[in-house]
Structure 1
């Protein structure tokens, strides 16, 4: 019985993992990761600043984009300290409560990103199907209410999932598989029944990203149906072009998420570093790519970003 110690108290220490098998190269591996973090943080901060300071961007579409940039910043900051700490200082230890806090915020910002992507496709649907009522439907108050619902939804769904981990006993190895706290990893270290935790975790995934993805697909079906009813090919192409950036954002969010789910479920024989790289890509690719996609594909954002950069270089 001595081996079955209940270590769910705040004194428990988990050990995070960098890239298995490549520990001697962690310093070199940190260079591209550091570059990705700097690019993601600066890109999203720049878009937020541009939307805040440019009056012509005070429209529903760009308010939702600012929400997306905010969630991407939160997602990056949630893993920045532990990931670079491992690569630079081999700082692998993380306390139980700190681990749960990091897990909660990673999951919260992931759910918020999924919700914002759903809100953005609703924005595009209203703009294309009923442009005359666009301003009256998506008022500033309505957008603020949507933002509040997004945060509240994520908090209410994820709090039970994270708090239920406190009831478990951890008597096995305390080594986690990733460089951040991931819900399935922590569950695997428990020596008690985790069926309730698994069910709640699956329910949280289905009711957030699962439901959101279905509504996003349905929304695009209605958007395409509306576009096909537009007689002019030029107008049809112009209307669809406003969706290109959003489609790119959906792709860079859901493809890594689905890949990570498949690897965890079916990639048992894959090398450990494959799991690690996909898990890191799942958190790094959306914050990195979204500013690039919207800067390249959205003329107004591109002009605003260039204007901000020009003003900052002029002042210097």
Structure 2
């Protein structure tokens, strides 16, 4: 099949329908091509913080026997997922910045799309399990060790790992059966299902409905259950005798609550904008997509390092700082 390409950094036109292994093109940052070498700096910094920070969390938990508890096992799983999410976007984003490489084969786009959405669903699930852990710790402290066991954490971890990818397989595979035509341009520096599906030349109602159903029964359901668990936590905390006890109880949730807000606010916003914000400026789509994918993996290790006393002390010990400094920070 022959086709004449009209290609610029922002625009690609294919006059014929592409049915087999189409090539997609990333716009990167439309209108900012001249300064993309400067835009590279904050993105490189975010990748550096995300990868090094989450690796540090994993090393600390691995080398600290007193942190081998269900709560920190879940934190390790969260760090692994954040690493996966960062690595999923790294090849295409850095390819644009370093080599001005803006094309991607459909198969590679499918793999990246599957990884990004799978890790996102996994993170949502882990945050839900962590909220249940905090609920049991505060509302049923005497039964915590009996309810939250290592064996149960392993079983739940397997469910968390499998739930997202299994739900995503049908919609990702269906994309290969669709013909694509016209402008095969993706307005980000990575592949998202919401964008690729809009480039298909046939009716994609099933994919759209199935995708929305998956989001509702995974991410949205997780968010509702997290909100419910925090409602019960607040009710229990309000019933404590003194303000000091209330503050101490709620402080155990602050790091998790910050992680929930950092992850769900941009994710829900991006999902709503893609489905219902047809008249929203493209710059808003671009900004929300980058915040959703780059900010949580970067901020989560910082949040847990600052808000969790055991992690702070372990970092200070690992870095070889003096004992009096550790006590000051702790």
Global fold match (TM > 0.5): yes
Q: Which of 73, 95, 108 matches 1:98?
A: 108
Structure 1 distance, partners of 2:170, 2:164, is 11
SS at match of 2:182: coil
Q: Give the 5 Å matches for 1:129-140.
A: 129-140=139-150
* Maintained 8 Å contact 1:260/1:278: yes
Aligned counterpart, 1:314 = none
Name the stretch that deviates more: 271-280 or 192-201.
Answer: 271-280
Matched, 1:203 2:221: no
In 1, Cα distance between equivalents of 2:104 and 2:18: 18
The equivalent position to 2:311 in structure 1, one of 298, 301, 304, is 301
Match among 268, 272, 279 for residue 282 of structure 2 = 272
Q: What TM-score, normalized by structure 1, do the two folds share?
A: 0.94
Alignment counterpart, residue 17 of structure 2, candidates 5, 9, 14: 5
1:168-187 matched pairs, under 5 angstroms: 168-187=178-197
Q: In the alignment, is the contact (CA less than 8 A) between 1:17 and 1:86 conserved in 2?
A: no
* Structure 1 residue 4 displacement after superposition: 5.2
1:227-286 CA-partner distances (Å, limit 9, x unpaired): 122223222211111000011000100111123234334544444333212211110110
Range with bigger deviation, 164-173 or 265-274: 265-274
Could you tell me the TM-score, scaled by structure 2's length? 0.90
Rounded Cα–Cα distance in structure 1 between residues aligned with 2:43 and 2:17: 37
Larger relative contact order (CA 8 Å, sep ≥ 6):
1
Give the aligned partner of residue 326 of structure 2.
none
Is 1:29 matched with 2:75? Answer: no
Task: Structure 2: give runs of 5+ residues left out of the alignment.
Answer: 4-14, 322-330
In the alignment, which residue of structure 2 is the partner of 1:57? 67
Distance 2:224 2:199 in 1: 33
**Is the counterpart of residue 84 in structure 1 residue 94 in structure 2?**
yes
1:161-211 deviation per Cα after TM superposition (whole angstroms, max 9, x unaligned): 211111211122111111100101101111011001101110111111110
Deviation at 1:119, TM superposition (A): 0.3
Aligned partner of 1:191 in structure 2 is 201
Contact (CA 8 Å) 1:172, 1:190: kept in 2 or not? no
For structure 1, which segment, 228-237 or 179-188, has the greater mean C-alpha deviation from structure 2 after superposition? 228-237
Alignment partner of 2:31: what SS? coil
* Equivalent residue, structure 2, for 1:224: 234
Residue 128 of structure 1: aligned partner: 138
Residues 14 and 96 in structure 1, CA contact (< 8 A), matched pair in contact too = yes
Q: How far apart are the structure 2 equivalents of 1:32 and 1:288?
A: 12
CA distance in 2: counterparts of 1:152 and 1:234, whole angstroms:
41
* Residue in structure 2 matched with residue 233 of structure 1 by the alignment: 243
CA positional deviation for 1:110: 0.2
Q: Kindly indicate whether the alpha-carbon contact (under 8 Å) linking 1:260 and 1:279 is maintained by their aligned counterparts in 2.
A: yes
Structure 1 counterpart of 2:84, from 74, 81, 85? 74
Matching of residue 215 in structure 1 with residue 225 in structure 2: yes
Partner of 2:328: none
Q: Which residue of 1 aligns with 2:265?
A: 255
How many residue pairs align between the two structures?
A: 308
Deviates more, 1:263-272 or 1:161-170: 263-272
The secondary structure found in structure 2 opposite 1:72 is helix
Where structure 1 has 5 or more consecutive residues not aligned to the other structure, the ranges are 312-316
Q: Distance in 1 between matches of 2:238 and 2:111?
A: 47
